[in-house]
Structures are given as C-alpha cells and as structure tokens.
Amino acid sequence: MPSGTYGPRVHATVALCTGSYRLSKRTTSEVMDDLFGVPMSVGTISQFEKTTSEVLAEPVAQARGYVEEQSVAHLDETSWREEGQRAWLWVAVTSWVTVFVVRLSRGGQVARELLGERFRGILVTDRDSGYNWYPVRWRQLCRSHLLRDFEAIRGRGGTSEEVGDALLKQVMSQD
C-alpha cells in the first residue's frame, strides 16, 4: 500500500467496508470516524478504492491465470446490484483459487473471460445457457442441481419415487 496519512490497516478496513460489506462511501466514512476515530472524506475513500484495485490487479491476474490452467473449474453467477444497476457476481472456483468478477452481463462472454483462453478442463456449471459455448463432452452438471432433480423425481411418487431413491442412493454412496 502507498504510504501517506493512513496506514495499511486503515486502507484494508476501508476496502473491507466498501468491498465485502458493500457499505456506501458515506457510511464507510461514518464507520471509520465512529469506530476508529479516523475522520475521512468520501473523496479519500474513493481514492482508497482506486488504490486498492491497483494494488490487487497483479494478484488477481495471477489467480485468473491459475484458473485457466486447471483441469476442473466450477463457474456460477448470481444477481447483484452495481451502482443501482442489475449486474451479476460471477465466480470461478478451483481446488486452491477462487476468482470473483462483477459484470453487467450474464452472458457466456463473462464465463469465457473468467476461464481464459487456455482453459481446456472440465467445466462444472448449472444449466444456464451462458455456458452452452463450452463443449458438452467437457461439461459436468453441478452436484447440488442433480440432487435437487433426483429429489423432484422421487417426489412424483410411484415408479418415479423408486428411480429417484436409486439415483440418490448412487450419488450418496460416492461420498
């Protein structure tokens, strides 16, 4: 972190408030003053956000490069609000690294961006059409979605109940 009036813990606390906790700049300013006795303008908080993004750019690029090289990656997206607009929080999860991005699109181009040009592994997703660009032979359906499907089959009763039970038993025996 750059040197200046505030140290790295103040920078980190501001990043936590505005990033992870999604507090407004004004609320973050109040928190910093009320809890820590550190008065701070909204403009300073904006500068901290910019600085934090710059400092994290290289580690994030390294994490994204790591995802690109993995044999398995899980991708998902969920609705999000960004500056009053509907957006999506995307996540790429591997055994060791998780990468998040917020984008205004739910389309497949974001999944491509997260995976990178070199990804050739197994892609684990839900059934969203944004993943249809990836070859089906290298896609795997998310386990939790399969379990919900098998529960629904079981819930139909009759022969379907037997089939659902057998499917669930098979999945559970792999644990």
Q: What is the pLDDT of residue 2?
A: 54
Q: What angle do CA 156, 128, 141 make, to 5 degrees?
A: 65
Q: Read off the amino acid at residue 116.
A: G
Query: Residues 142, 124: contact at Cβ < 8 Å?
Result: yes
Q: What is the pLDDT of residue 58?
A: 96
Q: How far is 144 from 44, CA to CA, in rounded Å?
A: 43
Q: What is the pLDDT of residue 84?
A: 84
- What is the per-residue pLDDT across 133-160, written as a single tens digit (0 to 9) for each? 999 999 999 999 999 999 999 999 999 9
Tokens of 125: 């997703």
Q: How far is 108 from 105, CA to CA, in rounded Å?
A: 9
Q: What is the pLDDT of residue 33?
A: 96
Q: What angle do CA 160, 164, 165 make, to 5 degrees?
A: 115
Summary mean pLDDT of the chain: 92
- Give 99-154 as a 3 state SS string: EEEEECCCCHHHHHHHHCCCCCCEEEECCCHHHCCCCHHHEEECHHHHHHHHHHHH
Q: How far is 53 from 32, CA to CA, in rounded Å?
A: 20
Which of these, 2, 14, 113, lies nearest to 55 by C-alpha position? 2
Handedness of CA 22, 23, 28, 34 (dihedral sign): negative
Query: Could you say which residues of the chain have pLDDT below 70?
Result: 1-4
